[in-house]
Amino acid sequence: MVSIDVWNAAVDFPIFDAKSRSLKKAVLGKAGGKIGTDSKVPIIEALHDIDLHLSHGDRLALVGHNGAGKSTLLRLLAGIYEPTRGSARVVGKVAPVFDLGVGMDPEISGYENIVIRGLFLGMNRKQMEKRMDEIAEFTELGDYLDMPLRTYSTGMRVRLAIGVVTSIDPEILVLDEGIGAVDADFLEKVRDRLKELVKRSGILIFASHSDEFLMELCNSAVWMDKGGIREHGSLRSVLTSYKGKDPFENLSPEMLAQVSDTATATIGSDKAP
């Protein structure tokens, strides 16, 4: 059974090359995290006091302003970063989708890239070969799939990457923002596939600035602020606090029916203090 447990965790980044006073000042002025100044090397405290427990069926949204710590928390929950203090335990195979282009090779064909990208996401060659026709159909890239990736336009690359990412069977799916950045025509197709992908996932953690995507895919949320958890609860209640208004209020009845019931449930679970 998949699970993620984080106990009182912090993640620090020492900035070894911030030697000059002006650079330190610049770091101090701009970063969203808290900067420790007592040691010679400035330290950005990107995360502090993180306590989070996720299990099968959890679909967690991460919201917060730029620099609040969402990406760092995603990496901590994916087991990519070790906590500097506190502890974390991730049980299950993680499919991290931080950058759609990662693992793509411009010199090999679209077909070959489908396999390589799949391997990156924890699948094996056989599993990817089985999915090949279905992915090819979804991307609508036709004969281009035999051509090297460097001959593709940016949009064509995104189609290919999304086709692969949404074809996998992830135990723990960790999604960062970019997946929503496709053209409008293609978006509808992506939406349906994303929903199916999330249904097949054990746990989803999704950092996004798009309410619409979050409402479709998530049932609970964490609001990150200055490296800490400001609020954790149902998606609706957290988005309402974060935005200052209820984003579900003006949804059409059809849309409301589409979003998961749990997204609108009141806080009360022991997981959402």
Ligand X SMILES: Nc1ncnc2c1ncn2[C@@H]1O[C@H](COP(=O)(O)OP(=O)(O)OP(=O)(O)O)[C@@H](O)[C@H]1O
Q: Can residue 70 be called a binding residue for ligand X (CB under 6 A)?
A: yes
Backbone angles phi, psi at 181, to 5 degrees: -90, 65
Q: Can residue 44 be called a binding residue for ligand X (CB under 6 A)?
A: yes
The residue to which tokens 């919201």 are assigned: 63
- State the number of binding residues for ligand X (CB under 6 A): 15
Query: Do residues 119 and 125 touch, judged by C-beta distance below 8 A?
Result: yes
Q: Can residue 96 be called a binding residue for ligand X (CB under 6 A)?
A: no
Cα gap 96→134, rounded to integer Å: 22
Q: Can residue 170 be called a binding residue for ligand X (CB under 6 A)?
A: no
Q: Can residue 68 be called a binding residue for ligand X (CB under 6 A)?
A: yes
Closest distance between ligand X and the C-beta of residue 12, in Å?
Answer: 9
Q: Which of 6, 9, 31, 222 binds ligand X (CB under 6 A)?
A: 31
Q: Which residues, 189 to 228, sit near ligand X by CB under 6 A?
A: 224
Q: Which of 18, 33, 50, 223 binds ligand X (CB under 6 A)?
A: 33
Identify which range of 66-74, 96-104, 107-115, 119-127 contacts ligand X by CB under 6 A.
66-74
- Which residue's CB is nearer to ligand X, number 77 or number 215? 77
Q: By 3-state DSSP, what share of the chain in percent is helix, strand and coil, each rounded to 5?
A: 40, 25, 35
- Residue 127, Cβ density class (10 Å: 0-12 exposed, 13-18 middle, ≥19 buried): middle
Close Cβ partners of 104 (under 8 Å, ≥ 6 residues apart)? 113, 116, 117, 149, 157, 160, 161
H-helix or E-strand containing 235? Answer: helix 235-243
Q: Is 142 left (phi over 0), alpha (psi -120 to 50) or beta?
A: left
Cα gap 270→253, rounded to integer Å: 30
176 DSSP β-pair partners? 207
Q: Can residue 48 be called a binding residue for ligand X (CB under 6 A)?
A: no
- Residue 30, Cβ density class (10 Å: 0-12 exposed, 13-18 middle, ≥19 buried): exposed
Q: Can residue 42 be called a binding residue for ligand X (CB under 6 A)?
A: no
Q: Can residue 71 be called a binding residue for ligand X (CB under 6 A)?
A: yes
- Which residue's CB is nearer to ligand X, number 69 or number 92? 69
Q: Which of 32, 92, 110, 228 binds ligand X (CB under 6 A)?
A: 32
Identify which range of 2-10, 18-26, 70-78, 141-149 contacts ligand X by CB under 6 A.
70-78
Q: Three-state DSSP class for 207? A: strand
Q: Can residue 186 be called a binding residue for ligand X (CB under 6 A)?
A: no
- Which residue's CB is nearer to ligand X, number 178 or number 247? 178
Q: Which of 72, 167, 201, 234 binds ligand X (CB under 6 A)?
A: 72
Cα gap 143→140, rounded to integer Å: 9
Q: Which of 9, 18, 46, 61 binds ligand X (CB under 6 A)?
A: 46
Q: Which residues, 110 to 129, sit near ligand X by CB under 6 A?
A: none
Q: Which of 10, 55, 67, 112 binds ligand X (CB under 6 A)?
A: 67
- Which residues are at the interface with ligand X (CB under 6 A)? 13, 31-33, 44, 46, 64, 66-72, 224
